[in-house]
Amino acid sequence: MEKKDTRSGFGDGLLELGKQMGNVVALCADLTKSMKMEAFRNHCPDRFFQVGIAEANMIGIAAGMTIGGKIPYTGSFANFTTGRVYDQIRQSIAYSNKNVKICASHAGLTLGEDGATHQILEDIGLMKMLPNMTVICPCDYNQTRAATIAIANHYGPVYLRFGRPKLPVFTSKNDTFEIGKSVVMKRGRDITIIATGHLVWESIIASDFLLKKGIDAEIINVHTIKPLDKDTILDSIASTRAVVVAEEHQINGGLGDSIAQLLSIYMPTKMKSISINDMFGESGDPYLLMQKYKIDYQSIVNSALNLLSDCKK
Amino acid sequence: MFKLIKKLENISIQVRRDVLRMIYYAKSGHPGGSLSATDMLVVLYFHIMNHSNKFSIDGINEDIFFLSNGHISSLWYSVLARCGYFPLEELKTFRKINSRLQGHPTNAEELPGIRISSGSLGQGLSVALGAALSKKINNDKKIIYIMLGDGELQEGQIWEAAMFAAHYKIDNIISIIDCNGKQIDGNVDDIISLENLYYKWQSFGWNVVEIYKGNNIENIIIGVKYAKSLLGNNKPIVILLKTQMGYGVDFMVDDHNWHGMSLNEIQIKKALNQLKTDLKDY
């Protein structure tokens, strides 16, 4: 299977928007190459703004550019464009409901060798807590490209999260992207695996292993963490009555929290969380880190088996 | 000119009455900075700016004003209401529940005249520069005005924005610093000195205009018109407006304690007695 990085999906989607929509502008804080924003810059030089190493200013400028009808896309690493500039996002974008698309690469552990200073694992929580904010975490190159384009036609602040490593491209180029509508990747009877970002791919591998053990897992790709697609999630869990949630994020504040809250209100169900257990990361090879911090497919398999054996007791 | 100055002075006095009455009835607010910046805001809205009270958020082909030091909201609300953006009566709702006149300005309640939320300091200059860039892309020749507090310059984001503006030669913006020399805890120079602001802004690549009597209508008009004459010269413009906190009320002048404090019954009577106009209170 072809492998591509999700940030290239962002870069290619942004270029397409640049060609199609004259009101789309882009800002970047000294990471044009890493963010794959060079193509947009070269094609639309008058609508690209290098802001230097000044993320707070970038957020403010983006908010201001909406006044006059622009749709700004800001690009930086997830760490520097969420936690570092939280108050700027909160006041100038979220509370002011500005049409800014905050686009973040290098999220999570799989940034790899740069280590914990750069591996933000709290960004989804930070962003989903803000009223007016839509939070999207696509699963592969094609879905990131489609999401990048789709959010231009949605009025309001969006946090779009993607990552550094090259990953299998397993969705189709022609799949439509609907904000807030989860995708059932595989039907199954015995357990629901809910995943976001590249953990969807890990869940697909996990489901093959589970099938060999006679367990038929349903897989839901929750690319939009907020607003959450309650119907698709509850429909699935109503029939499987067991759920594993997988994400590259802290256990506190991530997708797992959102699912647990939903279930506790509508459908109390036993659940296991594949996430980072209240720890900072470290330097290393991305996949070895996923194994060490237990967010790889093997951890999903183990959690599913444990959960199903708990349910039988 | 004399007639114009008299008219604007009269409006300034009435706006000061509005500000103090709003804060008195709300039992909270920020009178000190509101009174120091009153004359500039009155000159901008009643004489300088090309704007329409039929409000549109994008402000296409209009001059746009931003208030970065959002705590002086009572001043902005009074000026907007007196320009006809919304009914004067609504000033009564300042800082009360279910009001569009929030403690700090916000577009979230859709109050005409307000395009973004401010209050958490240091963010407004970046926002104003974004709006100025938007105007340039739209080939809109109108101007962005923004007011900041001097204490607010202690926020680092201001200097990120200052560098950006000069680098991109954003010359359709006039940034106004209300240099009243006070902040919550005392004198700005005693807390974290700003050193020489003229050289600071100049070295950041800005054209700097100083208005020494920032509570004098005639001086403000001359200064702002001079600043306007510098527009379009590949450099952003900043006005250092030397004002007095609490200007217009003798017991408030130059006293930092009036940054964020309401008045009692005796104080409001005493203050209003010093501010006489032939205009009507809301």
Query: Which class is A183-312 in CATH?
Result: alpha beta
Cα maximum dimension of chain B: 53
Quick check: A99 and A156 in contact, CB under 8 A? yes
Give B167 to chain A, closest Cα distance, Å. 9
Paired strand residues for A73: A26, A101
Cis ω before A131 (30° cut-off from 0): no
How confident is the model at residue A164, as a pLDDT?
93
Residue type for position B53: N
CATH architecture for the domain at A3-168: 3-Layer(aba) Sandwich (3.40)
Asked if the domains A3-168 and A183-312 are classified in one and the same CATH topology, the answer is yes
Tell me: the pLDDT tens digits for A139-174? 999 999 999 999 999 999 999 999 999 999 999 999
Question: What's the number of CA atoms in the CB half-sphere (13 Å) around residue B88?
Answer: 12
pLDDT value at A91 more than 90: yes
pLDDT band at A290, cuts 50/70/90? very high
pLDDT at A213: 96
Interface test with B, best of A46, A50, A57 (most B CBs within 10 A): A57
Chain A residues near residue B133 by CB distance under 8 angstroms: 49, 61, 64-65
Q: Which residue does chain A place closest to B133, by CA atoms?
A: A65
DSSP annotation of A47 reads G
Task: Give the tens place of pLDDT for each residue, A259-288.
Answer: 999 999 999 999 999 999 999 999 999 999
- Structural domains for chain B: 2-273 (3.40.50.970)
DSSP B48: I
- pLDDT-derived band at A312, boundaries 50, 70, 90: confident
To test the contact with chain A by mutation, choose from B56, B134, B204 the residue with the greatest count of A C-beta atoms within 10 A, namely: B134
Structural domain spans, chain A: 3-168, 183-312
- Judged by CB atoms closer than 8 Å, whether chains meet at B133 and A63 is answered as no
pLDDT under 50: residue ranges of chain B: none
Determine the pLDDT at residue A76: 98
Q: Which value does ipTM take for this structure? A: 0.97
- The answer to whether B57 and B17 are in contact (CB under 8 A) is no
pLDDT value at A313 more than 80 = no
Q: pLDDT tens digits for B206-258?
A: 999 999 999 999 999 999 999 999 999 999 999 999 999 999 999 999 999 99
Whether residue A61 and residue B163 make contact (CB cut-off 8 A), yes or no, is no
Contact (Cβ atoms closer than 8 angstroms) between residue A144 and residue A223: no
Beta strands per DSSP E along A63-106: 71-77, 101-105
Interface of A with B (CB under 8 A): 25, 46-47, 49, 51-52, 54, 56-70, 72, 87-88, 90-92, 95-98
Q: Is the pLDDT of residue A206 over 90?
A: yes
Chain B residues whose beta carbon lies within 8 Å of the beta carbon of residue A92:
116-117, 123, 126-127
Name residue, tokens 């990131």: A144
Give me the pLDDT at residue A311, please.
84
